[in-house]
Amino acid sequence: MEYYNYLKSLHLIFVITWFAGLFYIVRLFVYQIEAADKPSPEKEILQKQYKIMTYRLWYIITWPSAVLASIFAFSLLYLNPSLIQLDYMQVKFGFVFALYLYHGKCQQIYNHLQNDEIKYSSNFMRLWNEGATIILFAVVFLIIVKDAVNWIYGVIGIFLFSILIMLGFKFYKRIRQRNQS
């Protein structure tokens, strides 16, 4: 158990870098999609550069961080299996599963964009970028509060936060359209 706090620290560090990668990769998706609308040669130059940037971010930072965060999490559970029985941890596992699904969908989007297949708009990607934010808020509040009743309030708060994000997105979209006119 003397190594437990070191493992916990490493788990947290790689969770942070994993989220950083997820936040930034979707932002790069936005830029990559918008580059497709640029005139030549700007379009080709930007697309080539964004492909390199997304490749490096995805395979040098994001994927390794996800794997290492998971390895350290499983190590913590191995050393302290009683965590699995806690209500808040079971809810956290649900959010972590949602994060893996989000990561998997980002992988799919990444693959499409690397093959010059644009299946989503840049506005969709801006909204998609908030998915990781919502999961992050949920997990942090859940881990800090650790109370089965209070996490219900936290989930309600997350939904309200999501509504605020969507309203902010619509507001931003209107401003952006007005400035482009």
What pLDDT is recorded for position 150? 64
Whether the pLDDT of residue 153 is over 80: the answer is no
Contacts of 120 (CB under 8 A, 6+ apart): 29, 33, 109, 128
Whether the pLDDT of residue 156 is over 70: the answer is yes
The dihedral sign for the CA sequence 100, 145, 169, 26: negative
Backbone φ, ψ for residue 38 (5° rounding): -80, 155
The model's pTM = 0.84
**Average pLDDT across the chain, whole number:** 90
What pLDDT is recorded for position 174? 81
User: What's the whole-number mean pLDDT along residues 44-72?
Assistant: 98
User: What's the whole-number mean pLDDT along residues 22-37?
Assistant: 97
User: What's the whole-number mean pLDDT along residues 50-57?
Assistant: 98
Burial of 175 (0-12, 13-18, 19+ CB in 10 A): exposed
The predicted-structure confidence for 99-115, as pLDDT tens digits, reads as follows 999 999 999 999 999 99
- The SS3 call for residue 175 is helix
% of the chain exceeding 90 in pLDDT: 65
Q: Which residues are annotated as a binding site?
A: 11, 92
Q: Which residues are annotated as a binding site for heme?
A: 11, 92
Geometric angle at alpha carbon 14, from 55 and 102, rounded to 5°: 60
Q: What is the DSSP letter of 84?
A: G
Q: How far apart are the first and last CA of the chain?
A: 62
User: What's the whole-number mean pLDDT along residues 8-25?
Assistant: 98
